[in-house]
Every structure is written in structure tokens, then in C-alpha cells.
């Protein structure tokens, strides 16, 4: 059967390849070289004997040539029907194609050949589970949920929101009305006092201590616009203060019960801020104490145009002579903040004035 070659080698009679003399199979073509071996690895039908054919079938499987791979395996089974590796390879080839029923049949035959093999049994169980999942009916489509009906809570929330809006509008209107009434109170009080007073003036308002007027003649006083019913002394003082403030409208009133003077000025235009309003109040107080240096205090109110028409009260406070001595044009932001802490003042909370 064999033809001797050089020392230590021999020649395969099938493919004539030169191979070591101790080989049982040809390293080139896989043909059996020795028929008298008793090693079970070299027994007839063993994987080692049919290795070239198994390798070719597996390569065809990897390449996706399933029909050719199956044909190679069937030729092997025609000679060695009990070879386990061929049964397993056939089952894997059919499983790769998704033909689970055929794959299960080959693995069932394989488990009959080797019932104690754990790997074969596990693969058969896996294939059966995959096939059961494949043929299982699809889950029913979920029924569309009916549109949710409006809940009573939603209506309640809408009602609460409407009540909040209506309440806010009512409160805002009430605040604006209160501000207008508050601004009109001094004028109404003055009118009532004048109407109630007898024709002869019962109370004599002490005239201010005059200060020397400049030699130059004063410019003509602007017309006094504002509170009706000022007495002659009050109107005269308001006119003098307006002249010192370059024509800014000023109103004056004297309280005989307390012996105190009250003055009001109006900011004509510009951005309202606490610093701006404080400067106007200090300028008015400075002009007043220049005429009334002996007065201990002066009650000042400041009004400004309202966005809704008319005027609105923005400030009220008692300014002593010590603060009026400061020139308001030289007051910076830090000084204004410090001065605001030195006397009691009221600021209109609705306007949200900035410092």
C-alpha cells in the first residue's frame, strides 16, 4: 500500500505527498495510511478519519452554501450512520437557516445515539424553546384606551384660577381707588376747613421770620396751581417756595392745632425712584427753612402723575432742619441711603419704588 521514500518518511499512495513514516493519516488529503491501528481515535468512522470531509462541510456552512454542506454530510452518513459529529453539524446547518423542525429531528437522533451527553441535551432543549416561541401566536394588540373624561378636579382648578384672577383685579382696583382718595384727602380737608371757618379769620397764622431778600427784584411768581382755599399767608409762602424751586408747583397749609407747617410739591416728569423723590423733598425743605429757620420740623408730601390719569401720592415724611441743611444736588446714592434711615417716611407700596 505504501511506497517507501527517504529515511524517516513515506509517500501517500493517494496524493503522493511525502509525510512522516509514523503518520496514520495523510497530512495533505486525510487518507488512512495504516489499517492495523487499534487506537479508537483512528477507528472506522471516527472524526479523525473523516476530518477532511467534516472540515469541508463546516467551511461550506460558514460560506452560506448550506445545500452543498448538507450533501457532504449525507455522503458521510451513508458510510458512517452513527457518527455523532455529523448529526450535530446537520442540526446546526438547519438551525442556521431557521429550519428549526429539521434541526430538532437531527438533535433528537443525536440524543438517541448519546443519551448521557449534556451538551446534546441542552442544545435540543434550546431548539425546542426557540421553535415554541416561533410558532406561538402573537400577543393581542392592546385595545385603544378611551379618551379620559374631564374630571371634577380639572373644573375645580379652572374655577379656582378664575376666582384668583377676579380677586386680583378687584384688589388692584381697590388699591388704585384708595390711592386716589388718599391724594384727594388734603384738598378736601382744606376745603372743609375753609367752609366751616367764619368770615372773620379766627386764627392768626404767625408770619414767617423774613430773611433779607436780594436787592434785585424777584422774577414774577408763577400762578399757584393746586389746593383751593389757601389763606393769603399760605398762598404767599407757597409762591415764595415755588420761586426758589424754579417754578415747581408748591402748596402750603398751616395746622393751628399743632402749630406746624405742611408743604406739598409735584414731580412733573422723569423716572421715579426713592433717590429722586428724596432730592425733591430736601429741596423743598431747604427752601422752607431758609424762610422759617425757627421751625422745628416740616411735614412734606410729594405727588407725581399717575399712569391712569391724575396724580398719585408717592411720599410723606417729617424732614428736620438738620437734613434740610444738606444740598440735595450733592447727595449721592450712599448718602441718600443713609439719610433715609434718619427720619420716618412713607413710600407708596403700590409703585414699588427703587432705591
Q: How confident is the model at residue 30 (pLDDT cuts 50, 70, 90)?
A: low
- Classified as helix, coil or strand, 315 is strand
- Strand-pairing partners, residue 345, are 317
Is the domain spanning 37-135 CATH 1.25.40.10? The answer is yes
Closest CA to 97 of 61, 122, 55: 61
Residue 195 confidence (pLDDT) above 60: no
- pLDDT, position 14: 66
Residue 238 confidence (pLDDT) above 80: yes
Please give the Cα distance from 277 to 302 (Å, whole number).
7
Q: How confident is the model at residue 34 (pLDDT cuts 50, 70, 90)?
A: low
Handedness of CA 167, 168, 170, 175 (dihedral sign): positive
What residues does each domain of the chain span? 37-135, 226-355
Helix (H), strand (E), coil (C) string for 77-105: HHHCCCCHHHHHHHHHHHHHCCCHHHHHH
Closest CA to 268 of 260, 259, 277: 277
Q: Mention every residue, 6+ apart, whose C-beta is less than 8 A from residue 107.
A: 87, 88, 91, 120, 123, 124, 127
Q: What is the pTM of this model?
A: 0.38
Q: pLDDT digit string (tens) for 320-339?
A: 888 878 887 777 767 777 77
Query: Is-contact 28 37, C-beta < 8 A?
Result: no
| Least-confidence region, from 5-9, 27-31, 115-119 | 27-31
Amino acid at each position: 500500500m505504501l511506497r517507501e521514500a527517504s529515511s524517516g518518511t513515506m509517500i501517500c499512495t493517494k496524493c503522493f505527498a511525502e509525510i512522516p513514516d509514523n503518520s496514520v493519516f495523510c497530512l495533505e488529503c486525510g487518507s488512512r495510511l495504516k489499517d492495523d491501528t487499534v487506537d479508537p481515535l483512528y477507528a472506522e468512522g471516527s472524526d479523525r478519519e473523516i476530518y477532511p470531509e467534516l472540515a469541508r462541510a463546516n467551511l461550506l456552512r460558514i460560506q452560506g452554501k448550506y445545500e452543498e454542506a448538507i450533501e457532504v454530510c449525507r455522503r458521510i452518513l451513508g458510510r458512517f450512520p452513527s457518527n455523532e459529529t455529523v448529526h450535530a453539524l446537520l442540526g446546526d446547518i438547519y438551525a442556521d437557516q431557521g429550519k428549526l423542525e429539521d434541526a430538532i429531528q437531527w438533535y433528537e437522533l443525536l440524543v438517541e445515539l448519546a443519551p448521557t451527553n449534556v451538551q446534546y441535551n441542552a442544545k435540543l432543549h434550546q431548539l425546542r424553546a426557540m421553535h415554541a416561541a416561533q410558532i406561538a401566536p402573537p400577543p393581542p394588540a392592546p385595545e385603544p384606551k378611551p379618551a379620559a373624561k374631564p374630571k371634577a378636579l380639572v373644573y375645580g382648578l379652572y374655577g379656582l384660577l378664575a376666582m384668583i384672577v377676579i380677586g386680583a383685579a378687584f384688589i388692584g382696583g381697590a388699591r388704585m381707588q384708595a390711592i386716589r382718595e388718599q391724594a384727594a384727602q388734603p384738598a378736601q380737608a382744606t376745603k372743609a376747613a375753609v367752609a366751616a371757618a367764619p368770615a372773620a379769620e379766627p386764627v392768626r397764622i404767625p408770619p414767617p421770620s423774613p430773611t433779607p431778600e436780594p436787592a434785585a427784584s424777584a422774577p414774577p411768581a408763577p400762578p399757584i396751581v393746586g389746593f383751593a382755599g389757601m389763606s393769603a399767608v399760605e398762598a404767599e409762602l407757597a409762591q415764595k417756595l415755588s420761586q426758589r424751586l424754579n417754578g415747581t408747583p408748591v402748596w402750603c397749609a398751616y395746622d393751628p392745632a399743632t402749630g406746624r407747617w405742611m408743604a406739598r410739591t409735584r414731580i412733573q416728569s422723569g423716572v421715579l425712584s426713592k433717590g429722586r423723590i428724596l432730592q425733591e423733598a430736601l429741596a423743598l425743605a431747604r427752601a422752607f427753612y431758609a424762610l422759617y429757620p425757627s421751625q422745628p420740623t416740616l411735614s412734606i408730601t410729594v405727588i407725581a402723575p399717575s399712569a391712569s390719569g391724575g396724580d398719585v401720592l408717592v411720599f410723606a415724611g417729617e424732614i428736620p432742619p438738620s437734613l434740610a441743611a444738606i444740598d440735595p444736588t450733592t447727595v449721592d446714592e450712599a448718602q441718600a441711603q443713609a439719610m433715609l434711615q434718619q427720619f420716618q417716611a412713607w413710600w407708596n407700596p403700590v409703585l414699588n419704588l427703587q432705591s
